[in-house]
Amino acid sequence: MRLDAFLPAAVEGLSRVRAKALILDGHVTIDGRAVREAKHGVRTGETVAVTLPPPEPAEPEGEAIPLDIVYEDDDLIVIDKPAGLVVHPAPGHSGGTLVNALIAHCGDSLSGIGGVRRPGIVHRLDKETTGLLVAAKNDAAHRGLAAQFAEHGRDGGSLVRGYKAIVWGVPTPLKGTVEAAIGRSTKNRKKMAIAKDDDAHAREAVTHYVVDAVFGPKGAPIASLLSLELETGRTHQIRVHLAAIGHPVMGDPEYGAGMATKAAKLPEPAQSLVRALHRQALHAFLLGFEHPVTGEAMEFEAEPPADMAAIIAALRDA
């Protein structure tokens, strides 16, 4: 057996990627001799020793950013992300992210994912999308959660991701599925789009929806409230799929900009509330998964934030 395969099987909580890094850095010996080749074969009777150095300080650094914590234990943390909070540091967002906040909040409870004290992010929400997000605190939890999100619940597991969206118009039928591959837009590389048949880089995308409420005069509805469930997890998936069927998310600056004039058809105070909404009205209200360490089925719900709740209330009263 290869050394980089043997170590994860022998050392609980050690990933193959981490094992390879330890081998290359000279932290693994066989019969007292350092071995730096990940593919080196391990033979019966040999003594393999591994030294686990303390996790390196996190990069980026922690920042004291307030978090709405829904649940937390030694292995993971679930938060209700507000609008405007970027999940991962990136060019233009080197600080002030959810990762910075989690590093500061979790502190020494982070056991060193990949050798560095930082949270394990297994899924993301767009900057202006609100709602539930789970992060791992250690390698074991990270691997377990990552495996579930990779399967998207198709393996019969308990993973479920539910969203609420206020959209323009009313989808037909009132309950349905949007199944269309998504790829990078050829017109704007910062955006995603329904892929063409010859797009080799496109990825399968499936979104299920149900219309919860219809707003506007009978026979001429203006907007509706949807519950959505993801069967895949592509970048901007819900926003792209809903725009593709002619019902973009209200307030979406990238995929629903052409619908801005529709706000004029709304009565007050709904009209003013919609005009003041400078983000997509999309909220991850439901998150369910199997605890990656205990195996317990876990499910969390979060009510829509104040801006969406106010619009929904105003539209109901209109």
3-state helix, strand, coil in the chain (%, to 5): 25, 30, 50
| Two tokens, residue 212 | 């919860």
Give the Cβ contact number of residue 43 at 10 Å.
8
| Token pair 């998207």: residue | 152
What's the pLDDT at 92?
Answer: 65
Radius of gyration of the chain, Cα coordinates, nearest whole angstrom = 23
What's the pLDDT at 307?
Answer: 97
Q: Could you say which of 4, 80, 126, 139 is catalytic?
A: 126
What's the pLDDT at 153?
Answer: 62
Phi–psi pair at 245, nearest 5 degrees: -95, 10
Give the Cβ contact number of residue 235 at 10 Å.
15
Residues of the chain scoring pLDDT < 50: none
What's the pLDDT at 245?
Answer: 96
Active site residue 212: no
Where, residue-wise, is CATH 3.10.290.10 in the chain?
Answer: 3-50
Where, residue-wise, is CATH 3.30.2350.10 in the chain?
Answer: 54-151, 162-284+310-317
| Class at the top of the CATH hierarchy for domain 54-151 | alpha beta
- The 3-state DSSP class for residue 43 equals coil
| Two tokens, residue 313 | 């209330």
CATH architecture of 162-284+310-317: 2-Layer Sandwich (3.30)
Q: Which of 80, 97, 66, 83 is nearest to 129 (CA)?
A: 83
Amino acid at 110: L
CATH architecture of 3-50: Roll (3.10)
What's the pLDDT at 57?
Answer: 54
| Two tokens, residue 161 | 């991701």
What's the pLDDT at 251?
Answer: 94
Q: What is the value of pTM for the model shown?
A: 0.80
Query: Could you give the angle at which helices 16-24 and 3-10 cross, rounded to 10 degrees?
Result: 120
What's the pLDDT at 77?
Answer: 96
